Amino acid sequence: MQLSKQVLQEPMNKIYDTIVIGGGVGGLSAGIYLQRYLLNSLIIDKGKARSFWMQELHNYLGLPPDTQGRTLLKHGKDHYLSLGGDLLNRYVEEVIDTGSIFEVKVKIGRQNSTYKIFHTKYLIAASGIIDNLPFVDNMQNVYDYAGYNLHVCLICDGYEMADKRVGIFGRNERSLEVAFSLGWFTPYITLFTQDMFEISSQFRDRLWEHEYKLVEKPISKFLGANHQMTGVQMMDGSVIELDAGLVSMGSQFHSAYLSGLNLQTQGETLVTDQICRTSHPRIFAVGDLKLGLNQVVVAASDGAIAATGIWRDIRRERGVKRRPSNIDSSILAS
Amino acid sequence: MQLSKQVLQEPMNKIYDTIVIGGGVGGLSAGIYLQRYLLNSLIIDKGKARSFWMQELHNYLGLPPDTQGRTLLKHGKDHYLSLGGDLLNRYVEEVIDTGSIFEVKVKIGRQNSTYKIFHTKYLIAASGIIDNLPFVDNMQNVYDYAGYNLHVCLICDGYEMADKRVGIFGRNERSLEVAFSLGWFTPYITLFTQDMFEISSQFRDRLWEHEYKLVEKPISKFLGANHQMTGVQMMDGSVIELDAGLVSMGSQFHSAYLSGLNLQTQGETLVTDQICRTSHPRIFAVGDLKLGLNQVVVAASDGAIAATGIWRDIRRERGVKRRPSNIDSSILAS
């Protein structure tokens, strides 16, 4: 059930089989599988998963290509709750490993915050990443287009940009390398540094050879209407017309709560084995937090795989369900 | 487009970027991704994927739990065709590796069959498995319940069998081991050997200890109505009432066409790396043919991962799209 403010005031002695941190695609898929394995689970979600911002999923088998990410999330949440899973809309501050169980510390209230501890045997880290966006004076101007035709994922939306005039917004020279992959879809590419970093002469040569344009001036705002970006206006007033944008400015990893646990990482990404288990035997990671392809359907699959791994562990430990004993059989046995 | 009989009569010089063998969940997901990567692909499907028989998917994120497998397949097929992918309803007899391309030999006509060769650079084996079913005189009697409450997958349908009287139908003692996993969901288990194999005394002891029943007589037929199986009638006329069944009789692998290619396997299952690549660098495998969890959402994810791996290979080889040359620029360049 959806845990209310009321529940947070009450003493909480329950030990969950699994707490899932993050109610995005990976976390919800894990939750559905966990509940169907008759385990008791709690999803703690701070809201607004990465897929929440996606206006059209395009490539998730079984859903119409114009399905919004938030529609998928809504279906998944309803499905999870219908199976009796617990759901809490809060932010996880920290996870503490006490040996056989984890303490999950949840922040309550924005000001004068208090904390509530939830207990669990297993943990699934499903809190994902969020993309950095270009910084302009009025960020609403960016939000108006992000997830529409200002894309953040080449794998997802390269097809949408085919033969279009696309602007790439980077945060360093390396982040602009994506131009040579986007170049598979379109030759009409303009790279923007927003005057934040320098470009080497070798990189300039490569851009020239590919006929890609480079704009090194700061951006004033994105132009467009009805969530369709049509270009960029620079601080000096000049305008560059575009049909679409691709943001390549890195991501924030939502995994600060794991910092005390010394999990093995590669960069900021969690290293997992074939069943999404991290270097801690009772912590699993799914979706964009772990190494692999950052795709909705992969996160959903990860959730199924991690939940199954946890069920197998717990099943081996607890064994089978027994028939309820009754008086007759106990008399016979005595 | 859907390739017609007409097309099969015409000469076929095209070399596909990828031919996907199998139009189930894994193959369709791969096809959608391949087409969105602007590659040209052909799915060759013999029809009736494993998921075609599933009456309710239950655990696929984003679809209502009562969605039929065939509905998902229909959506996927329409989606793939809308992206310009080619689809052929035929049986693949053999794949021959000629060095840089594969010849895919397709059977045409049931009697006096002829063969047509399709060419491709990459291959995705997505033809899956099909479950062996209990054998009775009138197989329609089995088909009436299979995929309804005569289940073939504990991971998928354990939840549906919770606390119910479940019959397990095995093909050898080892296949009946699934009882001790099903025991997580229900203690009311009856195992059927159908008089096809012997049971060791050690195994009998374990069954006795768990209070599971063992029936070693041959089956005459399944009882029930409206696709709901209610029990089994034995050859001797006796009846055992059941609420559900679990078939554990192994599977047929649809991979005979790969037999000349010496791919690495573990048992009958194809060994693949993290991106679903087999031991052949241009052959990928997705879904139930490969090692891993046999789940619809995993197959869909595999398809995305394999298609992305192939795109990366081809992109590196072919490089970027160039601007169309026009007279002005060619004059300037001369």
**Per-residue pLDDT tens digits for A36-52:** 999 999 999 998 888 88
Q: Which residues of A touch B37 (CB under 8 A)?
A: 158-159, 184
The answer, yes or no, to whether residue A329 has pLDDT greater than 60, is no
Exposure string of A196-221, with b = 16+ CB inside 10 Å and e = fewer, is: eeebeeebeeebeebebebbeeebbb
β B129-131/B251-253 pair status: antiparallel
- Mean of pLDDT values over B44-62: 88
Q: What's the gap between Cα B164 and its chain centre?
A: 28
Question: What is the model's pLDDT at position B326?
Answer: 59
Q: Which residues of A touch B274 (CB under 8 A)?
A: 292
**Per-residue pLDDT tens digits for B201-234:** 999 999 999 999 999 999 999 999 999 999 999 9
Token pair for residue A236? Answer: 């000096």
Question: What is the model's pLDDT at position B48?
Answer: 82
Query: Which helix (H) or strand (E) covers residue A122, if one does?
Result: strand A114-125
Q: Which residues of A touch B211 (CB under 8 A)?
A: 322-323
Closest in B33, B181, B315 to A181, CB measured:
B315
Interchain CB contacts (distance < 8 Å): A and B: 155
> B9 pLDDT band (50/70/90 cuts)?
confident
- Mean of pLDDT values over B33-43: 98
- Give the CA distances from residue B164 to residues A91, B48, B79, B240, in Å, rounded to whole numbers and listed in that order: 39, 30, 39, 14
**Do residues A333 and A140 touch, judged by C-beta distance below 8 A?**
no
Q: Of all residues in chain A, what percent carry a pLDDT higher than 90?
A: 87
**Per-residue pLDDT tens digits for B185-203:** 999 999 999 999 999 999 9
Distance CA A9, CA A116 (A): 9
Contact B180 A58 (CB under 8 A): no
The residue written with tokens 């049971």 in the block is: B199
Q: Which letter does DSSP use for residue A183 in this model?
A: T
The sign of the dihedral angle between the CA atoms of B85, B88, B89, B95 is negative
Burial class (CB in 10 A: 0-12, 13-18, 19+), A188: buried
Q: Which residues of A touch B155 (CB under 8 A)?
A: 308
Closest in A159, A300, A315 to B184, CB measured:
A315
Instruction: Give the residue on A whose Cα is nearest the Cα of B314.
Output: A184
Question: What is the model's pLDDT at position A326?
Answer: 59
Contact A155 B308 (CB under 8 A): yes
Query: Best interface-test mutation with B: which of A32, A39, A41, A61 has the largest number of B CBs within 10 A?
Result: A61
The answer, yes or no, to whether residue A323 has pLDDT greater than 50, is yes
Question: What is the model's pLDDT at position B332?
Answer: 47
Contact B187 A320 (CB under 8 A): yes
Closest in B37, B61, B320 to A300, CB measured:
B61
- Mean of pLDDT values over B35-42: 98
The dihedrals phi and psi of B272, each to the nearest 5 degrees, come to: -130, 160
Question: What is the model's pLDDT at position A53?
Answer: 83
- Min Cα separation A300/chain B (Å): 7
Q: Which residues of A touch B187 (CB under 8 A)?
A: 320-323
One DSSP character per residue, A272-315 reads --TTSB-SSTTEEE-GGGBSS---HHHHHHHHHHHHHHHHHHHH
Instruction: Give the residue on B whose Cα is nearest the Cα of A180.
Output: B320
The answer, yes or no, to whether residue A147 has pLDDT greater than 60, is yes
One DSSP character per residue, A149-169 reads TEES-HHHHTGGGTTS-EEEE
Question: What is the model's pLDDT at position B111?
Answer: 82
- Give the CA distances from residue B16 to residues A323, B12, B20, B93, in Å, rounded to whole numbers and listed in that order: 58, 11, 10, 18
Burial class (CB in 10 A: 0-12, 13-18, 19+), B264: exposed
Contact A293 B305 (CB under 8 A): yes
Distance CA B160, CA B154 (A): 9
Contact B72 A61 (CB under 8 A): yes
- Min Cα separation A31/chain B (Å): 10
The answer, yes or no, to whether residue B7 has pLDDT greater than 80, is no
The dihedrals phi and psi of B314, each to the nearest 5 degrees, come to: -70, -40
Contact A75 B62 (CB under 8 A): yes
Report which of B85, B323, B34 is spatially closest to residue A163, judged by C-alpha positions. B323
Question: What is the model's pLDDT at position A55?
Answer: 87
Q: Which residues of B touch A38 (CB under 8 A)?
A: 158-159, 162, 184-185
Distance CA A125, CA A227 (A): 33
Half-sphere exposure (Cβ direction) of B102: Cα atoms closer than 13 Å: 28
Q: Which residues of B touch A315 (CB under 8 A)?
A: 181, 184
Q: In the beta sheet, which residues pair with residue B166?
A: B189, B244
β A102-108/A41-44 pair status: unpaired
Q: Of all residues in chain A, what percent carry a pLDDT higher than 70?
A: 97
Contact A300 B301 (CB under 8 A): yes
Contact B38 A63 (CB under 8 A): no
The residue written with tokens 């970006």 in the block is: A229
The answer, yes or no, to whether residue B329 has pLDDT greater than 60, is no
> A286 pLDDT band (50/70/90 cuts)?
very high
> A333 pLDDT band (50/70/90 cuts)?
very low
Q: What's the gap between Cα B278 and its chain centre?
A: 17
- Min Cα separation A308/chain B (Å): 8
One DSSP character per residue, B135-156 reads --S-THHHHTTBTTTEES-HHH
Burial class (CB in 10 A: 0-12, 13-18, 19+), B159: middle
**Per-residue pLDDT tens digits for A174-218:** 999 999 999 999 999 999 999 999 999 999 999 999 999 999 999
Contact A76 B59 (CB under 8 A): no
Question: What is the model's pLDDT at position A12?
Answer: 77
Question: What is the model's pLDDT at position B262?
Answer: 95
Structural domains in chain A, CATH included, are: 5-130+251-318 (3.50.50.60), 133-248 (3.50.50.60)
Question: What is the model's pLDDT at position B333?
Answer: 44
Q: Which residues of B touch A24 (CB under 8 A)?
A: none
- Min Cα separation A79/chain B (Å): 8
**Per-residue pLDDT tens digits for A65-93:** 999 999 999 999 999 999 999 999 999 99
- Mean of pLDDT values over A287-311: 97
Question: What is the model's pLDDT at position A114?
Answer: 86
